[in-house]
Amino acid sequence: MTPALELDCRDLPCPRPIIELARHLADVGVGQVLAVVAHDPAARYDVPAWCRMRDQEYVGQDTADDGAPRFLVRRRS
């Protein structure tokens, strides 16, 4: 899957990847996917939880080109 926007949060500690996700969600259109690339171990739990709280779709997890964890969010509204 090719996201419309990929956020490089590899070196950001918790909760910064979620803060960046919230800041940049409006940068993609409704129905588009935003990716958060983060080494923060909490991101695997925080991104899906944030999606549930904000009524956005958590698409899942895959890996960036360098093997870093990448979390995919589809903007619903």
Annotated active-site positions, please? 14
**Distance in angstroms (rounded) separating the CA atoms of residues 63 and 55:** 24
- Per-residue tokens: 17: 């990847």
Burial status of residue 20 (CB atoms within 10 A of its CB: 0-12, 13-18, 19 or more): middle
